[in-house]
Structure 1
Amino acid sequence: MAFVLAFTRANAQTADVCKGSLGDPVVNETFGAGSNFGGALPYTSMFYVSSFCPDDGSYTIANSTADPNLGGSCHTSWHTVTHDHTGDPNGYFMFINASFAKSVFYTQPINLQLCQKTTYEFSAYVLNLIKLSASNDQTIQPDIKFTIKAPDGTILKSSENIVPPTADPEWQKFSLFFTTPANVNSVIVELSNEAPGGNGNDLLLDDIQFRACGPVIQTGFSTITANQPQNQCVGDSRNYTLKAQVGDGYTDPSLQWQINKSDGNGWLDIAGQTTDTYNFTISDNTAKIYQYRLSAAEQSNIGSPDCRVSSSPLSVTVNAFPVVPDIPPVEGCEGGTLILTASGGVAFEWTGPAITVANKNQNPLIINAATLAAAGNYAVTVTNAAGCTATKNTTVTVDARPVITVPSAVYTICKGANTNINVSSPTGISYQWAPTTGLNDPTSPTPTASPADTTIYTVIVTTDKGCIDSAKVTVNVLPPPVANAGTPRPIFEGQSITLNGTAQSANVYSWTPTTGLSDPTILNPIANPTDDITYTLHASSTYNCGVAESSVFVRVFKKIVIPNSFSPNGDGTNDFWDIEALITYPQSLLTVFNRYGQAVYKSIGYAKPWRGTYNGIPLPTGTYYYIIDLKNGAPKLSGWVLLVK
């Protein structure tokens, strides 16, 4: 029940903190810094040990709770804490395993002449070592009592603070403040343990302070809301105006501006500056930080630093110019990439022949596809975070790439032959051809090329500065010509056809014989022969890679003339059905029908003309019908013939 009651008391209290401005600490116990462990303290009744695992009623001074031999805290229920409240890994804190009985952690007499009617804050940062995950209703949480006593032991003010467990290590500030009575000018401050030891009640203490608390003091540059740090550069001269506003709280307030020049002398009063406005000029040739604040107190206490409260500092930093390392000269080739790199700042601005709006603020500066015009002097202005600038210069040299002359970009040879390919460059000192296949010397500007197939060669030419360019030469390799006169062609006498000749690797053509040809020197002449004929295509090239031949047969079918009557009466005139040229179709089939559709005559070929008989018996006068199938793919011929006596 003791835990429950203590927790209820802590939850019910109101935080006892200073809501105004604070003065410089009269007491400022940080426990120092160093390697583990720090020395014993003169102002505690607890037992000192040099161990990461102090027992109940013991403490140590350390910068970590992690035992190197264990890799963490000696109890799994403890947080592992590796730095003090300020985050300094070497900063000490007081590492306490509280006693079973109530005990005093810390006591410190303040024997200074405290100012009357002045409010002081007594504070400390505390960390509950017990993890939230290891806490339950049986765990004892630290109950820290802040007490301010008169020299005779009379308690002037006190407050108790339950320190709740946290999931992660968390420093928490606890405090109380009080106003000095008229008859008290020195006090004793004390931190004590009000919870029993045993299961829990393990804690860390850091940054114990006792200092004046007063009205809120607001300050700024020109207005009280403009309190951002100011910057200027070494050698500059700037004017500043500080404005301040002091809140309610003093009956008869007095003001004093102070300066800290970062020279080890701390805060010093500025003579004569005792109003809410301070005008000054900074002209400094040395990098330095100036800090300004306004201190305030009752008129009767303004002369005592321990009675004043002060505003948050305003700072003016005199910044050194950036230190910019030399930028080595850059040499590159025409068409290549140039890179210039500066350092020593946060912003860069370049000037020079190849600088544009797009690249002037680059760093590194990258100049792609450099031209000869990019050579020259370059400068970069480097700006540091404070806005101070410095300039560095360098030079850029752009070497010309080789000029390559290619007398002929295309060579043509017959398969198995060779040719000399050729390039030249007045500044080239080396040549490299690729691919090397078919070249007798791929490093010569005039190698002999004998590739098996058409090849595109690329030559890379290099100058004495290492600059390169390239050119291409094509060697066309022509294989022997190939000719194809086409498939056999049938025509009827008097018709004409176009010969379907084709050729490869050839550009010179001729047909033999020339009989009936429109033009025997082209691939597809028009042919109009009167009789069967075989044409031969001769194909060659102007490169003299050989001659190819191919032939095509043209069959000329004679024109058939079919009489529509004959009179087989034995008078010697028109006694036969004489079909002109049918004899030239030896595979043809002639069939004659009477009017009833009965075949009365058939003949394959027409060696003997029809005499108008059927099985040797003369047929009567009348109209007969015929069908002639030439058997050459041509349409069948049909009609009638009149047989008369």
Structure 2
Amino acid sequence: MYRLIKTLSFLFILLFAFFARAQVCTGTFGPPLINQTFGQGNDTDNWYGPLAQYAPGASTSTTFMGPPGPSPRNLTANQSGLVKTPATPGNPYPIYWLPHADHTGDNNGLMLLIDGVATPTVFFEQKMDDLCPNTMLRLSIWVLNTNSPAANAQPPKMILKVIDPNGNLLGSASTGNVTADGMWHQYTLDFSNGNNSTVTLQLVNDTPTNSGNDFALDDITVQACGPGITPFFNLNNAALNMCEGNTSSFTVNANISPEYVNPVYQWQENKGADWVNINGVTTKPATINFLNQPAGIYQYRLITAINGNIDKVFCRAVSDPITVTVNPLPIARAENSGPFCTGNTIQLTASGGTSYSWTGPNGFTSTAQNPTLTNATKAMEGEYTVTVMANGCSSNASTNVKVSDPLQISTNVQMVSICEGKSVQLTVSGGTEYLWQPANGLSDPNSANPVAAPAETTTYTVKVSQGLCSETAQITVNVNKNAMADAGADQKIVTGQKITLNGKVSNDATYLWTPADYLDDPAKLNPVATPPHDITYTLHASSSLGCSSSSDEVNITVYPKVVIPNTFSPNGDNVNDTWNIPAAASFPNPVVKIMNRYGNLVYQSTGPFKPWDGKMNGKDLPPGVYYYSVYLNEDFQTYTGWLMLVR
């Protein structure tokens, strides 16, 4: 009988375990009710403990090592420790335990490192309190085979068990062999806790060897199965966007499947600090008063539970959040680079948004951020408004454009003529500042009334300014040159010769030679002159444009005709008694020499010419042929020849 009862009890336990494991969540598993992460380490320490400090509710039947940890730095069978990485500093067997971060990849996150044994004992327990009775739960653990694949060690294997406070099995599952691939592996067990608010997770070693049975545990969680909740706004929107200063109330609702029996609801709001209940909002569809809300992120979620359990954290289902974003109004700015002058380019600028829309005078519109208006006119003056948009929100800004009237400038003349060396006053009006260019010949290039005395014909451009506006005008000053006379170089002729005067005049002039004596035509620029004696002619030039006249002189030197006799008879009869050259008397310093047939000098006259009387040193020279050379001046060649002295 005892054996039958024992057998029936064993079958009951197996059936209970089967049904417990066979339960299926028809809703969704919510956020973790329990989350055992084994705590956080620091940048310096390698071993941590005690276990209860870093992992509340957890216990182990292995020998817990640390801190400071074992020496040498490796665990032996049935030992455990809290570490940041299996390959702790000083580990003498790095081929077995490789470096690896915790399940989340946090280099300072802790894990429970265990060197398992072959005995199928409960090596780890995690107590889980405050659970809601009659709830479908999911247990999840993460396991890392800490051995290197190169070690070719026996992989760890364990059984997940959940028991009630009386030791009754609520569910179990095997991990199978945990592969040595350097990756964390997740294992889950779904079970119902019945009427129990406290259950205990047990991990049982299922590896038939001590060698290689090395592994790490991390992130043990329990999630409750609740109805699937899909919250939404208004017409099934998952998110809303509004603009600051233009917020409005909205409806929240949710699709829930399956519903609790006799469900109750509570909407919560999170404005950035934490989730809080919204007073009075306890229906599935509900209206949220959302008027005049500042910019920010607002989240909403729905909590549902069986009536009476809404305030029990582990006995209710919580939806994912849906979000309302209240965007700040863009800070709109509008500017222009004015004031502007007629004909300028108007530059408008805006900032503060991602898109822009301008309106202005004369039907102006533009979607450019910084539009330009060319060839400004007075009609373009006025207020320009831009609508600045960002994140669906808009603000307006305006800027006033001023366009100055065109300057009305005037000058006293547009073109004027002056004689060379004279001046004229130029006058311009219509502004407050003036600049003449070029400055050559001006008394003051910054004056409105400068005196101009250019040497050549010049066109002056004056820039007339008033504020930022300016206009230009031009005045041309024609410079009429004075008449210029050039009578040419002085000349020399011999009596009876003709000479052409080399006169020149310039700059549109009339001319006349004076005196008219011995000229073939004094009104010609190049008359022919035949003066019998020295004479000075003057060329007169008169400007046809009324400018200054001028004159220039040319001296004509007329030398007598040179006649040199070749015979004389100094016999005292007073007829042809001397050798005389009449023209020599016209020259101040002629040089006359006479040589005999042997080349000996017999006579010389230097200075005013003195006729030769046929003597040498007061004595008569014998009749015969003598030779002469006569130098009158630089204008004449030296005359040479012979003469006959006759007695």
Give TM-score scaled by structure 2 length: 0.48
Structure 1 or 2, whichever has the larger Rg, is 2
